[in-house]
């Protein structure tokens, strides 16, 4: 649990403070991004599902 440049292919600043977690699981990035911007990834998936 630390700074692993090998796994941190994406800048931790982009994901926020949880950049280290995103390195462990790329899927977690989507879970971290929705926090500051929950109306971007979700609405698209829902609108497509509803429509």
Q: What are 3-51's pLDDT values in tens digits?
A: 555 555 555 555 555 545 445 555 555 555 555 555 555 555 555 555 4
Helices (H), the chain: 12-15, 19-24, 26-32, 41-50
* Tally of structural domains, the chain: 1
pLDDT of the residue at 22: 45
**39 in a structural domain:** yes
pLDDT of the residue at 3: 58
**1 in a structural domain:** no
- In terms of residue numbers, what domain contains 45? 12-50
This prediction has a pTM of 0.11
**5 in a structural domain:** no
DSSP 22: H
């Amino acid at each position: 649990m630390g700074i692993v440049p090998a796994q941190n292919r994406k800048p931790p600043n982009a994901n926020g403070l949880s950049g280290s977690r995103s390195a462990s699981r790329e899927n977690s990035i989507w879970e971290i991004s929705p926090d500051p911007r929950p109306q971007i990834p979700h609405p698209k998936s829902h609108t497509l599902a509803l429509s």
